[in-house]
Amino acid sequence: MSIKLKIGWTDNNAIIEGVRIYKSSSLFDVNTLPAVHAEITDGSLFYEDFDVTDGQIYFYMLSCFIGEQEVFTECYEVDTNSSTGYWIVAISHYGTATHADKVSTNTTHVDWLSNFGKTIDFGAFTRNYQGSPPATTTTQRTAVINKTINLNPKGLRFNVQNAITQYVNQKTNCDLFFEDALGNILAVIELRSPANYTNAVRYGASIETLISATTTGTNPRFVGELQVHNNKIKFISENPAHGVDDFEFFVDLSTVAQIRVANLWAETRMWASVDGTQAYFTMKCLGRI
């Protein structure tokens, strides 16, 4: 997908003829300059580059010139990956544990730009929160979300976190369908957290062929890094002593174009705890593998 990249600068020179922009897909210096990509002579302090592909890395160097004299900046690396941040958040919670960093609408939070700035328009987010706990028998569930994220996940790595903090009916649920542009299913990951700190994960090339991931220790959690390769999906556990074990399954993902998120929700039953309770599942894009 083509995108626009805007480059800006300040000009403190008394007089110059213009600014030159050098661009390459690999690192360079003043001794290995590529051809001039653009030359600005109208006094502008920015340049919009439309010859940019989303997800690619580019290197830029600027110079100001007058006659045969030319002074260069350093070479800047620009990663155009527009998909880092939370793709999925389902959280049900109450009490002092507000999880303000995981709230997509909390635009004043110090981490909002890195967590949601690039994903707010396409992410799958659902939340239910109460500050004061009602009776312990009261159960609150988020809205159920079904949404297709029309971004290619191939070549990306994600941090997945599934947290359940009490024994009394904390639950999460999510189905991930990796699909081509026509909606054909290429791979599936199914998350079920029925209660009692337990995470159950199944995976496979289709719903009919799902197999269960193994777990280690008591109260296993689904926490770690999920990688989407061209030919496989791989999970690396963050807590091998008490978690869903590492797994990988090989499947042709050369045509993957989107992730369909289905049956996404989180549920909490109130409990007499100082910090409250919470149940959540998050999937955050960290960048390239």
pLDDT value of position 204: 96
- The pair phi, psi for residue 157, each rounded to 5°, is -120, 145
Q: Which of 156, 9, 4, 1 is CA-nearest to residue 76?
A: 9
**What are 137-192's pLDDT values in tens digits?**
577 889 999 999 988 898 899 999 987 765 556 889 999 999 999 999 999 999 98
Instruction: Name the domain boundary from 79, 113, 135.
Output: 79
Instruction: Name the domain boundary from 44, 79, 114.
Output: 79
pLDDT value of position 269: 74
Same domain for 99 and 229: yes
Total structural domains in the chain?
2
Same domain for 143 and 7: no
Q: Please tell me the distance from the alpha carbon of residue 203 to that of residue 235, in angstroms, as a whole number.
A: 11
Same domain for 118 and 197: yes
Same domain for 90 and 72: no
* 198 pLDDT higher than 80: no
**What are 93-125's pLDDT values in tens digits?**
877 777 889 999 999 999 998 899 889 989 999
- The residue segments making up the domain with residue 216 are 85-288
* 262 pLDDT higher than 90: yes
